[in-house]
Structure 1
Amino acid sequence: MKETYKGIYKDNSGTREIEIENNFKTLVTEIDGVVFSGSEFDDLSVDDKSKYTAQQLTRFTFLKTPIYQTDELQETLCNCSFVIVVPQTIIDKSNNNQFWSDLKIEISLGDKRSEEPGSGIEHEIVTLSLTIAGKTYTGTSEFFEGSFDQIRDQVKDKYQLKNCYGCMYGDYSVYGQGAFGAMLCFRNQKSAYSSVTNKEEYMALTPSGNVQEIYCCDEYETRKTGAGYRG
């Protein structure tokens, strides 16, 4: 399964129209002829810099991060922003009708704090906007989870998000998560997950894998308040 989204990339050198391919494991985009890929927006990297000239790469800012238990460094794109539009399915709670609505995703990645590897970036801001029946619902956080939480709280009496974020079996690790795509799926043990009452019971479960918040499979079930670890 693969989807392609149109969007805008912006950095200190200007703005470019882009497309982002998503197979729901990896994001791939080409900016000024340079191909980037990663599991989420803040770890987009060039697979092989030797394929490109120094002039092609000069517009980009790269954060160097040590790769765990190796002597190598990962160089990821930062000091830039992305705006893309992703269609999402919405459920009208009044009649259970389903319809599509465009989710506007805005990602702002700050500059690296220093040239020291592992210094991190100054900020990461995720803004999600969903317009339904002429009204726009917006959430802003460092994570997709937090931004979706804000939208959920605004639409909870009227609409339900039909995606992995809004699914009964989507949850997060007790050890934390990335900004996007680190959601755990427990569709492989629905009964056990639905019966969780505390953190220890939750930690004893083994998820089927990671999913993106914006994905949705045919085993989707509407999330119940207070379920699992995230509630």
Structure 2
Amino acid sequence: MRETLGYASPQHYPAVVTDCWGRFETVLVNNGGTFTMVLRGNRFEGTSVDSLQLVGAPAETVEPPALHHGDLCSCAIEWRMPVEVSLADSGRVSVPLTARLVLGDPAPNNAIDSVGVTLQLHLPTGVVETTAPQGWMEDALMDLQRRLPDGTRLLACISCAYSDYHPAGSGFIGSMACFRDCKDAYRAVAGKPDLFALWDKKSGFVQETFHCPDFERRQSGTGYRG
């Protein structure tokens, strides 16, 4: 089991699932490494929101969830979570971030045909949103950052000086490595070979929207991911 870093206690996010049966209000629970959610009596769990797997037998209901190899599909999951931002005129504040993840239908290639997430950041001055669905939370958050007003910055692992992804790739959310316990060594990383050499010294994995006291603003060209 991989070591995850994050919340001292589980976070409960108000959520809505929309599928062929209609709209269902629920709660998405996030402990930093695992997400859980109950949909019409069915409990789902997974390390990422795009791979929530049914736990146990399906509930007896006339509105069964759509599944692909046990994972929830053919629906939209929308949840709201708090994130930290720095504002030009009032410093650090916590604001709501709404994410809407659309999971497609089973496809002939043994996967689902689409995954797309859009984001809305609710700032005191108004709502900032992404322009198009993205397949990874990383890309959606980077798009969102580019659209923030001057002087406003997202204070989260995605924009931290000590976070990076494995060169072989990453999942939808939560596979970002943290190097907060070896900061000086990570500052010297200039490409893939350097990151490979340092990888086993990582502190653990974090979710892109998490924030901790070691946060420092990332500068362009830092580490493997730049």
The TM-score with structure 2 as length reference comes to 0.88
Instruction: Give me the whole-angstrom Cα distance separating, in 2, the residues matched to 1:187 and 1:18.
Output: 34
Partner letter of residue 87 of structure 1?
P
Instruction: Name the structure 1 match of 2:74.
Output: 79
TM-aligned CA deviation for residue 137 of structure 1: 3.2
AA in 1 matched with 2:12: T
Structure 2 partner of 1:59 = 64
Unaligned runs of 5+ in 2: 1-8
Whole-angstrom distance in 1 between the partners of 2:138 and 2:11: 21
Choose from 202, 208, 221 the match for 1:213.
208
**3-state SS of paired residue (2:128):** strand
Counterparts in 2 of 1:57 and 1:226: CA distance versus 1, 3 Å: farther
Partner of 1:100: 94
Residue identity over aligned pairs, in percent, reads 29
2:37 corresponding residue in structure 1: 29
Note the C-alpha offset of 1:135. Answer: 4.0
Q: Do residues 91 (structure 1) and 99 (structure 2) align?
A: no
Following TM superposition, by how much is the alpha carbon of 1:215 offset from its aligned partner in structure 2, in angstroms? Answer: 1.2
Return the letter of the residue paired with 1:131.
H
Distance across 2 between alignment mates of 1:14 and 1:27 = 22
CA–CA separation in structure 1 for the residues paired with 2:52 and 2:96? 24
Counterpart of 2:4 in structure 1 is none
Cα distance in 2 between the residues matched to 1:45 and 1:56: 18
The 3 A distance-change label for structure 1 pair 8 and 192 is same
Question: In structure 1, what is the Cα distance between the partners aligned to 2:62 and 2:50?
Answer: 18
Gaps of 5+ in 1: 65-74
Contact 1:44 1:76 in 2 (8 A): yes
Deviation of residue 188 (structure 1)?
2.0
Q: Is the 8 A contact 1:34 1:56 kept in 2?
A: no
The one of the two structures with greater contact order (alpha-carbon pairs below 8 A, sep at least 6) is 2
Q: What does residue range 1-231 of structure 1 map to in structure 2 within 5 Å?
A: 1-49=9-57, 52-53=58-59, 55-56=60-61, 59-64=64-69, 75-92=70-87, 94=88, 97-114=91-108, 119-132=110-123, 133-138=125-130, 140-155=133-148, 157-206=150-199, 207-231=202-226
Give me the whole-angstrom Cα distance separating, in 2, the residues matched to 1:37 and 1:212.
16
In the alignment, the residues of structure 2 paired with residue 135 and residue 17 of structure 1 have an alpha-carbon distance, to the nearest angstrom, of 23
Q: Report SS of the residue matched to 1:152.
A: helix
Contact (CA 8 Å) 2:26, 2:39: kept in 1 or not? Answer: yes
CA distance 1:228–1:156, shift in 2 (3 Å): farther
Aligned length: 214
